[in-house]
Amino acid sequence: MINKVVPNATAAIAGLESHMTVLFGGFGLCGIPENAIAAISKTDITGLTCVSNNAGVDGFGLGILLENRQIKKMISSYVGENAEFERQMLSGELEVDLVPQGTLAERCRAAGAGIPAFFTPAGFGTEVAEGKEVRWFNGKPHILEHAFDAPFAFVKAWKGDEAGNLIFKGTARNFNPVMAMAGKITVAEVEELVPAGTLDPNEIHTPGIFVQRIFQGEKFEKRIEQRTVRTR
């Protein structure tokens, strides 16, 4: 068994440098690597290109790194919930690349799977297709999209073992498995770190081969963005 355990978030982000491209798991505030983000926010790393489906909210998630001006560019599918984001974008301080959500997921999965490019129908005829190769298959137009890898990926799981195997909980899974595949160094933070042999090999969502470092997060706030309930 190859042991991937590092002591904490600070050790886990070692080697991360300014101006790198970094992948983040999570959807909204669900399943985001809170501890890695906190550790990055304490460094003077800046100029990051962040690939993440969303951009956090004011004061939480990637919103923390935005407030610190550590992010130069966001590559996301939806960035709606963040006033500071809006300010930086409109002022030109922040670059934004918008990518269809399914294309974003598939480009990261492709990077991890050694597929350098693939055809997808999403975005044909729209701005997203500008400059891209178009080809028809089965009577339907498709555009060529390229794999998207990065030197670092930060993901968050529910349980993980020393070998880096991960199990996610509920819809906190979302982008985490694909980002884990696409990172050259993938750092996983987990709510519960267990010895190898504890998890059932049959129930692993992300095999340890995709994870280079793993640690148990000190604290998980797990904020809810839209608390919606019904009455009994």
Q: x/- binding map, residues 170-209, to its own copies, per CB under 8 A?
A: x------------------------------xxx------
118 binds, among other proteins, its own copies, none (CB under 5 to 8 A by kind): its own copies
CA 59 to CA 39: how far, in whole Å? Answer: 15
Q: By CB under 8 A, is residue 116 in contact with its own copies?
A: yes
Q: By CB under 8 A, is residue 204 in contact with other proteins?
A: yes
Interface pick for other proteins out of 43, 58, 89, 132 (rule CB under 8 A): 89
Cα distances from 12 to residues 56, 155, 161, in angstroms, run: 21, 11, 15
Closest CA to 154 of 67, 68, 218, 217: 217
Q: x/- binding map, residues 103-142, to other proteins, per CB under 8 A?
A: xxxx-xx-xxxxx----xxxxxxxxx--------------
- Contacts to its own copies from residues 73-92, by CB under 8 A: none
3-state secondary structure string across 145-190: EECCCEEEEEEEEEEEECCCCEECCHHHCCCHHHHHHHEEEEEEEE
Q: By CB under 8 A, is residue 34 in contact with other proteins?
A: no
DSSP 136: E
